[in-house]
Amino acid sequence: MNQEDPSRAGKAIIEAVESQIKNNDPPKVKQTLKRLRSLGISREESLKYIACALSIEIFGAVKNAEEFNPKRYNENLDKLPEMPWEDE
């Protein structure tokens, strides 16, 4: 039986976020981390929030067969800690 481990995907998304922070690319990710931390949110939880925004963008791009949309990703980062799906 060859089932994917869901925690593996989550770890990969967190690693992608960590890489974005390390490389400051896009800069909005590091800015968002700093903003969330200034709200008293732990680093771990802040990374999870950012990972949610990244996951939504990746899922949307795959689901709709479109390219990654940096503008939409930035807009979702700006909304954190509110989740992008909460304003509908």
Q: Is residue 68 part of a domain?
A: yes
- What is the residue range of 33's domain? 25-87
Q: How far apart are CA 67 and CA 88, in angstroms?
A: 23
* Residue with more model confidence, 31 or 84: 31
- Please, which residues have CB within 8 angstroms of residue 61's CB and are 6 or more apart in sequence? 67, 68, 69
The whole-model pTM stands at 0.87
Using an 8 Å Cβ cutoff, are 19 and 26 in contact? no
In whole angstroms, what is the distance from residue 62 CA to residue 13 CA?
Answer: 15
Q: What is the pLDDT of residues 1-40, one digit of tens each?
A: 345 666 888 899 999 999 999 999 999 999 999 999 999 9
Number of domains in the chain: 1
59 falls within a domain: yes
